Structure 1
Amino acid sequence: MATSSQSMCEKKNKSSNVTIKEGDHVILKKGKTVRVFQIRKKRDIWLDKIKFTLDGAISHVYGSNFEVKSGQMHKIQKTFKEAEVLGAEKGTDNRNLHDLDSNQKLSREDIEKMKKEGAKGEEIIGQLIENSTTFKGKTEFAQEKWVKKKKQKHVAEFTVLKPNTRLMCQMYHEKSAAKILNIRMDTLAQILTYGNVHAYTNVAVVDTCSGLVVGAVMERLGGYGKVIHFHPGDRPVRPILDNLDFPKEFLDNLYNFPFCEIDSLKAENSEQTNSDTQSINLTKESLHSDEKGDNSSDTNDDTKKMREVFDERFKSRKSTTTEGEEVDSPAAKKMKTELSAREANKVLYNKRLFEARELLLKCDIDCLIIASKYNPTPLVTTLIEYVATSRPVVVYSQYKEAVMDAYAYLREMGCLVNYRVSETWLREYQILPMRTHPVIQMSAGGGYLLTATTTVKKSTTAAAMT
Structure 2
Amino acid sequence: MKDVAQVSVDNDCKIDRNIDEVIGITKHRKPQEHPYDEFDHSIIRPNTYCMIRLPSKTLRFGRLIPDQSINLGKFGSFQVDDILGHPFGYTYEIIDQTNKLRIVNELAYQEHETFSTINRDIYFEQSDELTGANDKGCYDSNQSQTMTMEQIETLKKMPNTDSGRDIIDSMIKGHVNFKNKTLYSQEKYLERKQMKFLRQFTPLPVTTSDLIEYYAQDKVDSRKKLMDISVETLGLLLSLGDIKPGGKYLVVDDMGGLIVGSLMERMAGEGTIVVLHENEQANLDILKYLNFSEGLVDRMVKTVPYYAFLHPEEQETIVDIPRDELLKWKSGKRGQYYRKRTHFLTFQYARKLSENQEFDALIIASSLYIPSLVDHLIISINSSRPITVYSNNLEYLTETSQFLQKNSSTLAPTISEIRCRPYQSIPGRIHPLMSMRDGGGFLLTAFKVNPC
Q: Could you state the TM-score of these two structures normalised by the residue count of structure 2?
A: 0.79
2:156 is the alignment partner of 1:115:
yes
What's the counterpart of residue 317 of structure 1?
none
5+ long unaligned stretches in structure 1: 1-5, 266-272, 308-335
Aligned to 1:239: 285
1:296 is aligned to 2:324: yes
Residues in 1 aligned to 2:386 and 2:290: alpha-carbon distance in whole angstroms? 26
Greater helix fraction, Structure 1 or Structure 2: 1
Structure-to-structure mapping, 1:46-61, within 5 angstroms: 46-47=71-72, 49-55=74-80, 56-61=82-87
- CA–CA separation in structure 1 for the residues paired with 2:345 and 2:76: 45
Runs of 5+ unmatched residues, structure 2 = 1-29, 106-114
Q: What pairs with 1:15-34 in structure 2 (closer than 5 Å)? A: 18-31=42-55, 32-34=57-59
Any idea what SS the aligned residue of 1:417 has? strand
Alignment of 1:59-458 (within 5 A): 59-69=85-95, 70=97, 72=99, 74-78=101-105, 80-81=116-117, 83=120, 85-88=122-125, 92-119=133-160, 120=162, 121-175=164-218, 176-247=222-293, 250-251=296-297, 252-265=299-312, 273-274=313-314, 277-278=315-316, 281-282=317-318, 285-286=319-320, 294-298=322-326, 304=329, 307=330, 345=339, 347-456=341-450
The aligned amino acid for 2:214 is: M
* Deviation, structure 1 residue 339: 7.5
Higher relative contact order (Cα pairs below 8 Å, separated by 6+ residues):
2
Q: Could you say what secondary structure the match of 1:430 adopts?
A: strand
Question: How many Å apart are 1:199 and its aligned residue?
Answer: 1.4
Tell me by how many angstroms 1:202 deviates.
0.4
Deviation at 1:357, TM superposition (A): 3.3
Shift of 1:419: 1.8
Quote the offset at 1:440 in angstroms. Answer: 1.6
Q: What value does the CA root-mean-square deviation take over the aligned residues?
A: 3.1
Aligned length: 398
Label 1:47 to 1:210 Cα distance change in 2 as closer, same or farther (>3 A). Answer: farther
Cα 1:434–1:11 change in 2 (3 A) is farther
Is residue 89 of structure 2 the alignment partner of residue 36 of structure 1?
Answer: no
Task: Tell me, in whole angstroms, the C-alpha distance in 1 between the residues paired with 2:61 and 2:336.
Answer: 31
Distance 1:14 1:191, change over 3 A: closer
Q: CA deviation at 1:40?
A: 1.8
Equivalent residues of 1:391, 1:453 under 8 A apart: yes
State the alpha-carbon separation in 1 of the partners of residues 35 and 429 from structure 2.
Answer: 45
Deviation, 1:221, is 0.8
| Cα distance in 1, alignment partners of residues 39 and 438 from structure 2 | 42
CA distance in 2, matches of 1:242, 1:196: 25
Cα offset, 1:13, TM superposition: 5.1
Give CA-to-partner distance per residue, 1:415-439, whole Å, 9 cap, x none.
Answer: 1112212222443222454452112
The change in CA–CA distance for 1:370 and 1:16 in structure 2 (over 3 A counts) is closer
Of residues 30-39 and 200-209 in structure 1, the stretch that sits farther from structure 2 once superposed is: 30-39
AA aligned to 1:33 is: T
Q: CA deviation at 1:345?
A: 4.9
In the TM superposition, what whole-angstrom CA distance separates every residue of 1:323-359 from its partner, at most 9, and x where no partner exists?
A: xxxxxxxxxxxxx7x8876665555444434433333
The answer on whether the counterparts of 1:86 and 1:144 sit within 8 Å (CA) in structure 2 is no
Contact 1:44 1:53 in 2 (8 A): yes
TM-score, normalised to structure 1, is: 0.77
3-state DSSP class of the match of 1:49? helix
- What is the CA–CA distance in structure 2 between the aligned matches of 1:207 and 1:71, rounded to whole Å? 46
Contact 2:359 2:380 in 1 (8 A): yes
Residues of 2 paired with 1:85 and 1:341: CA distance?
70
CA positional deviation for 1:411: 2.5
Measure how far apart 1:11 and its partner are: 10
